[in-house]
A = this chain, B = another copy of it.
Amino acid sequence: MCATYEALCTHGYADLTMQDIADESTKSKAALHYHYDSKHDLLCAFLEYLYEQFVERVADSDAETPHDRLLALVDVVLANSADDPEGFETALLEIRAQAPYEPGFRERLVTFETYLLGRFTDTLEAGVEDGTFDDDIDPEDTARFLVTVLTGAATERVTVGRSVECTQRMLREYVETHLLTEQGATA
């Protein structure tokens, strides 16, 4: 999986071959083919690996209050974009753009998005319950909105080379001025 990561950073998605991945690893191309029938299968496994890593990173967070959990979730997603080299983000967007042609890719991307939406919705619901967040908000719609902003930030990093800092600032402001109750803001 690390070799796949390195090979995607260097070669991008379109030109990637099983040989490129083998070159980054201690395995031969034949050994890779023993485990994965095709580049498609290997990349599906790679998307699952990214998903598991993400779930782990979210679970590792020691944020306790709904407010802290929401910000931590935003930061885990944005940190992904900020830490990875641009080549990797680009390869990932190329893979995302293949989703309509590759049901295996779309299935994994939907799993990832469903998980992220679920985490945001749960956190928003918990915050409405304990008075942190405004009870006027629709947790599910708001979660979807936040995910859309994060998706847009990742795309813009690739397409126009914009840093995610502005998005991070705006999202923190959005949470403070639009989601938090007075009680939540002073907690």
Given A141-B166, A141-B170, A166-B141 in contact, is the A97-B151 Cβ separation under 8 Å? no
Partner pick for A148 among B14, B97, B153, B158, CB 8 A cutoff: B153
How many positions in chain A have a CB within 8 Å of any CB in the partner chain? 43
In the assembly, what is the distance between CA of A144 and CA of B169, in Å?
11
Q: What separation, in Å, do the CA atoms of A144 and B163 have in the docked complex? A: 12
State whether B106 touches A161 (Cβ < 8 A).
yes
- Contact status B97-A93, CB under 8 Å: yes
* Contact among B12, B100, B151, B173 with A90 in the assembled complex (CB-CB below 8 Å): B100
Q: Please tell me which one of the listed residues B14, B97, B109 contacts residue A160 in the complex, with CB atoms under 8 A apart.
A: B109
- Asked whether, in the complex, the Cβ of A97 is within 8 Å of the Cβ of B97, the reply is yes
Shortest beta-carbon distance from A152 to chain B in Å: 3
CA distance A96 to B145 in the complex (A): 22
A155 to B150, CA, bound (A): 11
In the complex the two chains form, is B170's CB within 8 Å of A144's CB?
yes
A 99-138 to B, binary, CB cutoff 8 A, 1 in contact else 0: 1110000100110010000000000000000000000000
Known: A141-B166, A145-B170. 18 other contacts (CB 8 A): A12-B101, A90-B97, A93-B97, A99-B158, A99-B159, A99-B161, A113-B159, A141-B170, A142-B170, A144-B167, A148-B149, A148-B152, A149-B152, A151-B156, A152-B152, A152-B153, A155-B155, A178-B178
